[in-house]
């Protein structure tokens, strides 16, 4: 079994890009690629303990993805429902704690119920913390957090003079998670696409050419090994 990487990341976040292009290269519809990508998630979750990764956050559906065709959006929502139904037992038995971040209000009530149930069933698991960003956008998250903070100030529950960076962090969807050490984006695109904007201020980034359905355990291990060679300074000069 592979060993934990020395100085490896505790929290890895992944922008899972390239499903559609992977399918189109094979002459198949985009949803075929999304189904292949969903299967890849299980493999990467299972690989996390082998490398000392305690937290995995994946970008499943952004607030901007509603702009896609109606058929693709409907297909993705159906895929999310089936994924949760199919994987719940495995996630519970394997010790994976699942959380969802993002604005759930726009999602189908049946999907919301499945999400709530999966979170409840896995809440005491500790082997891997899997966070799924669904209808998530970094700017939207910060805006929602500021709205809640402002309401507490207006209600007299929060002194505005005490507000600092740590205050806002407590209002974010990710308030129970450490910031990501490493953010990976697959498919060769070199942008962050509104993902974990606040949390990734000092994250390391890896933009790799591999399309998400081809992101195997070996590619994951190679990417984590690259991280292990980096010197993280957090703005300081190390002597």
Q: Which residues are catalytically annotated? A: 17, 65
- Encoded tokens for 239: 């002597």
**Phi, psi angles (nearest 5°) of residue 45:** -60, -45
113/96 Cα distance (integer angstroms): 19
Report DSSP letters for the chain, one per residue: -PPPPTT--SEEEEE---HHHHHHHTT--HHHHHHHHHHHHHHHHHHGGGGT--EEEEEEEETTGGGS-HHHHHHHHHHHHHHHHHHHHHHHHTTEEEEEES-GGGS-HHHHHHHHHHHHHHTT--SEEEEEEEEE-HHHHHHHHHHHHHHHHHTTSS-GGG--HHHHHTTSTTTTSPPPSEEEE-TT----TTSSTTTTTT-EEEE-SS-GGG--HHHHHHHHHHHHT----TTPPP-
């Amino acid at each position: 079994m592979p060993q934990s990487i020395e100085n490896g990341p505790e929290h890895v976040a992944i922008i899972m890009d390239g499903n559609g292009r992977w399918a189109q290269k094979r002459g198949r519809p985009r949803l075929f690629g999304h189904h292949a990508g969903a299967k890849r998630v299980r493999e990467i979750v299972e690989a996390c303990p082998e490398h000392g990764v305690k937290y995995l956050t994946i970008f499943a559906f952004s607030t901007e993805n509603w702009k896609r065709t109606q058929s693709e959006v409907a297909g993705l929502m159906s895929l999310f429902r089936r994924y949760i139904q199919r994987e719940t037992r495995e996630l519970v038995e394997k010790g994976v704690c699942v959380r969802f971040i993002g604005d759930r209000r726009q999602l189908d009530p049946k999907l919301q119920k499945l999400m709530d149930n999966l979170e409840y069933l896995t809440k005491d698991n500790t082997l891997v913390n899997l966070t799924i960003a669904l209808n998530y956008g970094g700017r939207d998250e910060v805006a929602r957090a500021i709205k809640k903070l402002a309401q507490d100030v207006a209600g007299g529950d929060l002194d505005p003079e005490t507000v600092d960076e740590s205050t806002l962090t407590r209002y974010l969807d990710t308030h129970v998670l450490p910031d990501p050490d490493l953010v990976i984006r697959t498919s060769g695109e070199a942008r962050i696409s509104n993902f974990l904007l606040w949390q990734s201020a000092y994250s390391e980034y890896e933009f790799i050419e591999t399309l998400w359905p081809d992101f195997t355990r070996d590619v994951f291990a190679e990417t984590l090994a690259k991280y292990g060679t980096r010197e993280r300074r957090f703005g300081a000069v190390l002597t």
